[in-house]
Amino acid sequence: MINLISIIQIFIFNILGALIAKYQCDCSLFVDEVVCLGIETCDWINDLCVQKDCSNIDEIECDLMGKCSLNPEGKCEATQFCQEYQVKDEIDCMIKKGNCAAQNKKNDAGFYQCKNYISVDCNSLAAENCTNNYEDGQTFCWLNSTKQCQSYSINSCEGLPLDICSKLNCKTSIGICSSFKCSDITSQDQCKYVKDGYWGVLTLCNWKDDSNPTCIDRIDTKDFTNQTCSKLTDARYYWKDESCVSCPKNYEDNSNSQVYLILYLICILIEL
């Protein structure tokens, strides 16, 4: 019985993690071997582009994919139960170990122990119980500037508390957390795209090379080729019908069926 409950729990968490982390194209959309091998999370096997096994994904990409996590030995593996992980920074239970919460205090070894989260109403939590809780898979709780518990979207930098701003790959400027803009990029080599945190919307950039060289928002993808389309767009665009087009939003297409499945599994847990 306990094993069944554990299996259902980790299945639910992995679904939610995938909902957050699916910001790139499905590997199957890359039909060219060279293009496929240029995508960090894809591999070319038997003339098909497929998702890499977690064990073959590097450290940085591993910790930002819902289905993969670094184990205590620093190796990438399929995400395990939340209780299997300890982290140095409590928010890493959330953003690097799937949708996990964290104990409020460090253990004797100086780490935060990750744990399963229970959906809560952030506004109803006392300050000491706030951090590292979720309202749902994409909305989490954290203390605001007045030390009140508030809900925040994991898909947006705007208004995030300053103590976690940079940890979610956002910009801190004049005491405000916000997303990076193309204009923040000062090098032509780096002028490709910016993202609203790790999982928010992506803005394509273009280098304006004139008397005042500047990185600006890109208007279109007409000058991209099959070889540069995915490479210069964080794999969020792919080559189709001789054009560089944005990837289908798979998580939106399947969201209803996944929500129903999660609710069904929760009902099973309650009955057990």
* Range list of H helices, the chain: 2-21, 33-37, 59-62, 92-95, 162-165, 250-253, 255-271
Domain-located, residue 254: yes
pLDDT value at 134 more than 90 = no
Domain-located, residue 61: yes
Task: List the domain range (segments joined by +) for residue 40.
Answer: 2-80+155-271
Domain-located, residue 207: yes
Classify the phi-psi angles of 29: left when phi > 0, otherwise alpha if psi is within -120 to 50, otherwise beta.
alpha
Domain-located, residue 99: no
> Is pLDDT larger for residue 19 or for residue 47?
47
Domain-located, residue 127: no
Tens digits of residue pLDDT in 239-257: 999 999 888 865 333 333 3
- The most confident of 59-63, 124-128, 132-136, by mean pLDDT: 124-128
Tens digits of residue pLDDT in 136-182: 878 899 999 999 999 999 889 999 999 999 999 999 999 999 999 99
**Number of compact structural domains in the chain:** 1
Domain-located, residue 72: yes
